[in-house]
């Protein structure tokens, strides 16, 4: 049996999707939400009783069995891969094949660093949501614990995937005093210059985590970032607790809540 680094799966009933989360990551981001929530933070408090559950890594052969069970019980249309970093899993291509064989829509949330290694496994119908932590090399290095030059590889991989016709969404996090509205505008400028003005940009609200010094942005700061980005791009989306309402119900699939 082949172990993956999948440690957590949740089901969202509003769009019949599973969120498959990977434990390993090749970045060590200061603002990573895993520093605060090990399990899916969209779970309600009662279901977050997973706090007493032990981390268990899923075998790739078991994934098909679990997803078939979800499909029988609830119906299944879509899979979102996040983490951690999905592309860092040695079984990434096998996992994608399972999802494709099941006929699922696939979205991959990735930092983009290993995209050149796994792009051949990704279908053109899949969606790549690629996070740009900072457009500035030194800030990127400080935030991710990578080399400043590694940002060039991330940006190059984004451009290469775009040129090959992959579906790309760029995501960045508004972090006051680190990745401010003016910095988000520079991300938008990069997208408009190197990709296309119609490429979507998602601006996420930073959620404070232990050991990181930054606060949550205000709604006004998020709006300013969106307005600045819209000078360059046609499709800018805010993901914010100020405006987004919970959709449907979230169920823990793996591990099951005790």
Q: Note whether 86 and 108 are within 8 A (CB).
A: yes
Model confidence over 215-237: pLDDT tens digits?
A: 999 999 999 999 999 999 999 99
DSSP 59: B
Helices (H), 41-180: 60-73, 92-101, 115-118, 137-144, 150-163
Distance between CA atoms of residues 16 and 94, nearest Å = 22
Distance between CA atoms of residues 19 and 253, nearest Å = 10
Tokens of 7: 């440690």
Q: Which CATH class is domain 6-254?
A: alpha beta
Delimit the domains of the chain by residue range. 6-254
pLDDT score of 159 more than 90 = yes
Question: pLDDT-based confidence at 46, cuts 50/70/90?
Answer: very low
Instruction: Output the pLDDT for position 42.
Output: 86
């Amino acid at each position: 049996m082949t172990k993956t680094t999948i440690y957590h799966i949740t089901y969202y009933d509003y769009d019949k999707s599973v969120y498959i989360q990977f434990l390993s990551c090749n970045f060590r981001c200061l603002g990573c939400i895993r520093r605060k929530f090990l399990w899916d933070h969209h779970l309600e408090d009662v279901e977050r009783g997973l706090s007493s559950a032990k981390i268990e890594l899923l075998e790739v052969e078991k994934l098909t069995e679990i997803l078939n069970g979800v499909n029988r019980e609830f119906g299944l249309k879509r899979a979102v891969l996040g983490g951690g970093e999905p592309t860092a899993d040695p079984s990434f291509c096998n996992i994608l094949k399972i999802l494709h064989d099941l006929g699922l829509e696939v979205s991959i949330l990735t930092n983009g660093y290993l995209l050149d290694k796994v792009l051949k496994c990704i279908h053109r119908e899949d969606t790549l949501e690629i996070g740009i932590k900072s457009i500035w090399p030194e800030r990127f290095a400080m935030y991710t614990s990578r080399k400043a030059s590694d940002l060039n590889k991330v940006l190059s991989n984004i451009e290469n995937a775009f040129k090959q016709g992959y579906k790309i969404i760029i995501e960045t996090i508004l972090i006051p005093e680190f990745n401010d509205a003016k910095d988000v505008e520079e991300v938008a400028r990069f997208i408009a210059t190197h990709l296309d003005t119609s490429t979507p940009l998602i601006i996420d609200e930073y959620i404070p985590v232990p050991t990181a010094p930054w606060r949550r942005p205000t709604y006004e700061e998020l709006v300013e970032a969106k307005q600045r980005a819209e000078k360059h791009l046609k499709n800018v989306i805010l993901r914010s607790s100020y405006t987004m309402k919970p959709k449907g119900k979230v169920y823990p699939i793996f591990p099951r809540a005790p």
